[in-house]
Amino acid sequence: GKSWARIGQIPKRVFVRYVERKLLMAFTFANVNGRSALVRENSFFDLEAISDGAVSADPMEALTTPEALHDLSANLETFTASGNVDDVVLGAPVPRPTNSFGIGLNYQTHVDEAAMETPDVPMVFAKLPSCITGPTSDVQMRSGECDYEGELVVVIGPGGKDINEDQGWGHVVGLTVGQDFSDRGAQFMNAPAQFTLGKSMDSFGPTGPVLVSTDSFPDPADLELQTRVNGELRQHDRTSSLIFSIPKLIAFISRFVTLTTGDLIFTGTPEGVGFRNGVFLTDGDVVRTYIEGIGTLENRCIQI
Ligand code: ZN
């Protein structure tokens, strides 16, 4: 009836303003000394402080109120910054996920270098929450067969079960960068492989430096990814190369597991990992993992 007819009559300038406001509402979220914060350029804003307590200081709790994060971000210029991000050590933006998943073989180039078959359904393992660390954490290597895998990490917002693929993006609160460090000796110590143990050793899951809401990107499904070891470019691809898209992964996993706010999905790595050439990380190596529009992890490898 009449209400539908009115949609076509919205003045163009009002519609444009709405779109602009929506773009302005994108947010960048960080964990500063265990407290939730919004980030703009080099400044951070303590969320509990700028929201008068309406948003929790606990990053896990804060991610359950994304509308407030969007609204506060839209008005950030009205608040005084709490500090400069260069003066603090950022923690994992999602420090205590309930569930944390990794996806094996999700770029064809990596399937080829691993000499594996392209999977018909996502190959899922646990990247145990206990291995999740921050963007500049050291990596403790217990063997001479440790390797890097630069990956985009999806952070679940509204949870759910049996999520339809076409609703998948609606269940994402933001994206972050992850390193799926892997001890290849542990991973392949027997057959079938021990993906969960080999990839969940203490300190093997750096994430961050920030979590960026999906409306920050022109296309959140097409982001450049790079991994460098001691400055040398080892991995370079775009997330549009994923075999199983982010909505497909969410639909698939939620058939088995009820997803919860803060759950992580490490979406898989492109070609260029070390182990196919027998080249592993050594004591003192620095791994830098970059994703366009999010930032860079920098992790030093320590042989223990
Ligand atoms: Zn991986």
Task: State in Å: Cα 195 to ligand 1 middle.
Answer: 9
Task: State in Å: Cα 34 to ligand 1 middle.
Answer: 26
Identify the pLDDT of residue 9. Answer: 41
Q: Which residues of the chain, if any, have pLDDT below 70?
A: 1-24
| Residue 241, helix vs strand vs coil | helix
pLDDT, tens digit, 9 for 90 and up, residues 1-57: 333 333 434 444 444 444 544 445 899 999 999 999 999 999 999 999 999 999 999
Task: State in Å: Cα 15 to ligand 1 middle.
Answer: 42
Identify the pLDDT of residue 102. Answer: 98
**Helices (H), ranges, 158-245:** 184-187, 195-199
Task: State in Å: Cα 280 to ligand 1 middle.
Answer: 15
Task: State in Å: Cα 120 to ligand 1 middle.
Answer: 17
Q: Is 119 exposed, middle or buried (0-12, 13-18, 19+ CB in 10 A)?
A: middle
The DSSP element (H or E) to which 109 belongs, if any, is helix 108-113
Whole-angstrom CA distances from 123 to 53, 71, 134 are: 41, 37, 25
Q: For residues 188 and 198, is the Cβ–Cβ distance under 8 A?
A: yes
Identify the pLDDT of residue 87. Answer: 97
Q: Is 86 exposed, middle or buried (0-12, 13-18, 19+ CB in 10 A)?
A: exposed
Q: What is the pTM of this model?
A: 0.92
Looking at the chain, the whole-number percentage of residues with pLDDT higher than 90 is 90
Q: Which structure tokens are listed for 165?
A: 């693929």
Task: State in Å: Cα 179 to ligand 1 middle.
Answer: 8
CA-based nearest residue to 171, from 239, 242, 252, 259: 259
